[in-house]
């Protein structure tokens, strides 16, 4: 892994080792990766950070992260929504947080081709996915959470369900690698795909102000081809500030590095790496001297806010760089062409 990379078309430079080091130095001895020193850990961002470690070539650290996930999983296959120093601080159990382990595990496998790793993590992945789809409605959407009191919240998030859709794709790919057939997962993915494409009213936790609701169905591959292009073009001006990045929410002048990176991943997944590189260039230098990327900044005054430097933001930057520049074998993880050829 080279310390830095430079885009072929534009002068975009990112130090991969320094960016991954931000994640590594915040990882606890147990393998847990919190948002930052003394901050909370949530299972989805923990997995995202583990993928960033893999892109940086820190495979031992990534393995320890997945070992922490396996060791902290609940008996029903879920994780709690937030931990601090290994202790649960929010006992909500969210479906997308559980299922995302499949994406991280498959990403690691694409990077290393270690079949033994898949075998070891299979029970964890299977339990997590089964938990998520146990909350799927007959209409295809997946309810977002079980409350600390054990009550199912019958609300569905478009972004969360898009993440679950990607997780199901990865879980089925893992099953295929291991020679396993899981028809229930195939049915769940088909039902969820239909809901994402044709039943927008079923996603009743309205988040249309948020950029993630715009591009996540495309990033996950529920929308491809012309449908993906139409969706991205329809709201480009709503969320994108030219030469700055992506607004987290459409009605605020606040650009976030993670959402901008994820849009870059989306564009690369659609087969437009040149545009992805242009957008990536807008935020590639938005880091402190130690390599920690800013969470976000306001426009046009360029006030950095908030002051937190989250591990998962660095992971998102690394994943965008990988998707654009194909640094690792896992760079194809979100590629629509890759999944269509499976």
* Domain residue extents for the chain: 4-340
pLDDT in tens, 72-108: 999 999 999 999 999 999 999 999 999 999 999 999 9
pTM of structure: 0.96
293 pLDDT tier (thresholds 50, 70, 90): very high
Residue corresponding to tokens 């993880």: 333
**Torsion of Cα atoms, 201 then 168 then 262 then 216, to 10°:** -10
Three-state helix/strand/coil letters over the chain: CCCEEECCCCCCEEEHHHHHHHHHHHCCCCCCCCCCCCCCECHHHHHHHHHHHHHCCCHHHHHHHHHHHHHHCCCCCCCCCEEECCEEEECCEEHHHHHCHHHHHHHHHHHHCCHHHHHHHHHHHHHHHHHHHCCECCCCCECCEECCCCCEECCCCHHHHHHHHHHHHHHHHHHHHCCCCCHHHHHHHHHHHHHHHHCHHHCCCCCCCEHHHHHHHHHCCCCCHHHHHHHHHHCHHHHEECCCEEECECCCCEEEHHHHHHHHHHHHHHCCHHHHHHHHHHHCCCECCCCCECCEEECCCCCECCCCCCHHHHHHHHHHHHHHHCCCHHHHCCCHHHHHCC
Pair 207, 159: CB distance under 8 Å: yes
Q: Count of alpha carbons within 13 Å of 173, Cβ hemisphere only?
A: 23
pLDDT of residue 225: 98
Residue 180, φ and ψ in degrees, nearest 5: -110, 150
The arithmetic mean of pLDDT across residues 115-121, rounded, is 98
pLDDT of residue 307: 86
pLDDT of residue 12: 81
Q: Residue 55: is the preceding peptide bond cis (ω within 30°)? A: no
Q: Could you tell me which residue, 39 or 6, shows the higher pLDDT? A: 39
pLDDT of residue 1: 39
Q: Using CA atoms, how far apart are residues 258 and 105, in angstroms rounded to an integer?
A: 21
Plot region of 271 (φ>0 → left; ψ -120 to 50 → alpha; else → beta)? left
pLDDT in tens, 202-229: 998 777 899 999 999 999 999 999 999 9
pLDDT of residue 4: 56
pLDDT of residue 6: 41
pLDDT of residue 328: 97
pLDDT of residue 9: 52
13 pLDDT tier (thresholds 50, 70, 90): confident
pLDDT of residue 11: 67
CATH topology for 4-340 is Glycosyltransferase (1.50.10)
pLDDT of residue 10: 59
pLDDT in tens, 237-276: 999 999 999 999 999 999 999 999 999 999 999 999 999 9
pLDDT in tens, 153-168: 999 999 999 999 999 9
pLDDT of residue 20: 98
pLDDT of residue 296: 97
Give yes or no for residue 140 having a pLDDT over 80.
yes
The arithmetic mean of pLDDT across residues 195-202, rounded, is 96
**Mean pLDDT over all residues of the chain?**
95
pLDDT of residue 273: 96
110 pLDDT tier (thresholds 50, 70, 90): very high
pLDDT in tens, 272-288: 999 999 999 999 999 99
Helices 43-55 and 16-26 pack at an angle, to 10 degrees, of: 140
Q: Residue 97: is the preceding peptide bond cis (ω within 30°)? A: no
pLDDT of residue 157: 96
């Amino acid at each position: 892994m080279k310390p830095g990379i430079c885009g072929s078309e534009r002068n975009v430079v990112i130090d991969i080792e320094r960016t991954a080091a931000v994640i590594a130095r915040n990882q606890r001895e147990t393998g847990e990766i919190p948002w930052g020193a003394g901050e909370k850990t949530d299972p989805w961002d923990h997995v995202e950070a583990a993928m960033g470690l893999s892109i940086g070539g820190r495979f031992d650290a990534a393995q320890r992260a997945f070992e922490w996930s396996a060791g902290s999983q609940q008996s029903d296959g879920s994780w709690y929504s937030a931990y601090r120093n290994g202790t649960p601080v929010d006992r909500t159990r969210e479906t997308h947080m559980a299922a995302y382990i499949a994406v991280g595990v498959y990403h690691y496998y694409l990077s290393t081709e270690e079949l033994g790793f898949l075998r070891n993590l299979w029970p964890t992945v299977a339990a997590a996915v089964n938990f998520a789809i146990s909350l799927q409605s007959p209409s295809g959407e997946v309810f977002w959470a079980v409350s600390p009191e054990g009550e199912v919240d019958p609300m569905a998030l478009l972004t969360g369900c898009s993440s679950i859709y990607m997780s199901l794709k990865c879980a089925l790919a893992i099953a295929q690698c291991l020679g396993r057939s899981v028809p229930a997962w195939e049915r769940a993915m088909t039902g969820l795909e239909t809901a994402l494409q044709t039943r927008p009213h079923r996603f009743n936790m309205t988040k249309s102000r948020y950029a993630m609701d715009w591009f996540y169905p495309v990033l996950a591959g529920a929308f491809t081809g012309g449908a993906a292009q139409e969706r991205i073009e329809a709201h480009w001006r709503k969320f994108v500030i030219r030469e700055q990045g992506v607004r987290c929410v459409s009605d605020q002048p606040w650009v976030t590095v993670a959402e901008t990176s994820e849009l870059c991943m989306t564009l690369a997944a659609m087969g437009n790496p040149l545009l992805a590189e242009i957008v990536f260039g807008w935020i590639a230098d938005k880091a402190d001297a130690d390599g920690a990327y800013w969470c976000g900044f306001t426009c046009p005054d360029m006030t950095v806010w908030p002051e937190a430097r989250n591990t998962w933001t660095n992971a998102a930057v690394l994943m965008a760089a990988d998707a654009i520049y194909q640094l690792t074998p896992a760079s194809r993880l979100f590629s629509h062409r890759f999944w269509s050829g499976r």
